């Protein structure tokens, strides 16, 4: 049988890289829910929509169509993989994802993507809100210094040079906003398994989650 795997946790704990490989090893579909929040953020920023000042964003959101082509994120027909990973988006994505209208739209779309199971989705509220019945829920954590260094390297690979201090401040600020927002705050689901990735390599993280998944898949 096919299952749903929910991977939640703080920014920079390696959720996306891990989830992508876990999906590929199991022949499942990988869905990066954070990329969807980033796409909405990019949509607001690039169209100069003052999202902090508008009370009813429903109409604006109606014109914002987000989809995936493989693992690429597509906004209104245009691939925007690089555009959603800038520091400008990093600074605005947590306030945008605290907006309930944004969450309602994306959660509905995410649930549809999981209808046929066989998906690995990573984010902040996947095990608590999007798929509360997911067969496997993982909550990833890691030391702040390690998370910041991983994020610095990831930005550097894409030609963006940023100091560890600035990155750390951004991670802390996002952790704070993500965990204290009213709608779907980042919390570990009571039935999630915590995986601290501080001392693990990417391969070890992937192996660990694949073996948890396989034991559930073959048990059923």
Residues that bind ligand DC (CB under 6 A): 11, 33-34, 37-38, 93-94, 97, 123-126, 174, 178
Cβ proximity of 92 and 41 under 8 Å: yes
Is the CA virtual torsion 111, 117, 118, 124 positive or negative? Answer: positive
Q: Which residues are bridge partners to 123 per DSSP?
A: 8
* CA 159 to mean position of chain CA atoms: 22
Quick one: 101 or 125, whose CB is closer to ligand DC? 125
Burial of 17 (0-12, 13-18, 19+ CB in 10 A): middle
Nearest-approach distance from CB 12 to ligand DC, in angstroms: 7
Q: At which residue do the structure tokens 């306030």 appear?
A: 95
Nearest-approach distance from CB 130 to ligand DC, in angstroms: 7
Alpha helices (H) in the chain, listed in sequence order: 15-26, 33-46, 58-62, 87-97, 100-113, 144-157, 164-180, 202-219
Nearest-approach distance from CB 121 to ligand DC, in angstroms: 8
Nearest-approach distance from CB 117 to ligand DC, in angstroms: 18
Provide the 8-state DSSP code for 184: S
Quick one: 89 or 206, whose CB is closer to ligand DC? 89
Quick one: 101 or 178, whose CB is closer to ligand DC? 178
Quick one: 160 or 217, whose CB is closer to ligand DC? 160
2: tokens are 């096919």
Nearest-approach distance from CB 97 to ligand DC, in angstroms: 3
Quick one: 106 or 206, whose CB is closer to ligand DC? 106
């Amino acid at each position: 049988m096919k299952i749903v795997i929910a991977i939640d946790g703080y920014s920079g704990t390696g959720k996306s890289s891990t989830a992508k490989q876990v999906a590929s090893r199991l022949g499942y579909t990988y869905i990066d829910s954070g990329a969807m929040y980033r796409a909405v953020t990019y949509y607001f920023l690039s169209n100069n929509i003052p999202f902090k000042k508008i009370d009813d964003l429903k109409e604006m959101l109606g014109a914002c169509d987000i989809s995936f082509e493989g693992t690429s994120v597509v906004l209104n027909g245009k691939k925007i993989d690089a555009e959603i990973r800038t520091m400008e988006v990093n600074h605005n994505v947590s306030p945008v994802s605290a907006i309930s209208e944004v969450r309602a739209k994306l959660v509905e779309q995410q649930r549809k993507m999981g209808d046929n199971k066989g998906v690995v989705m990573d984010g902040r509220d996947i095990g608590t809100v999007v798929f509360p019945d997911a067969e496997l829920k993982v909550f990833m954590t890691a030391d702040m210094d390690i998370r910041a260094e991983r994020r610095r390297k990831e930005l550097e690979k894409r030609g963006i040079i940023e100091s560890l201090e600035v990155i750390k401040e951004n991670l802390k600020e996002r952790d704070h906003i993500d965990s204290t927002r009213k709608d779907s705050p980042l919390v570990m689901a009571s039935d999630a398994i915590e995986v601290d990735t501080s001392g693990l390599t990417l391969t070890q993280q992937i192996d660990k989650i694949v073996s948890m998944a396989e034991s559930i898949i073959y048990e059923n």
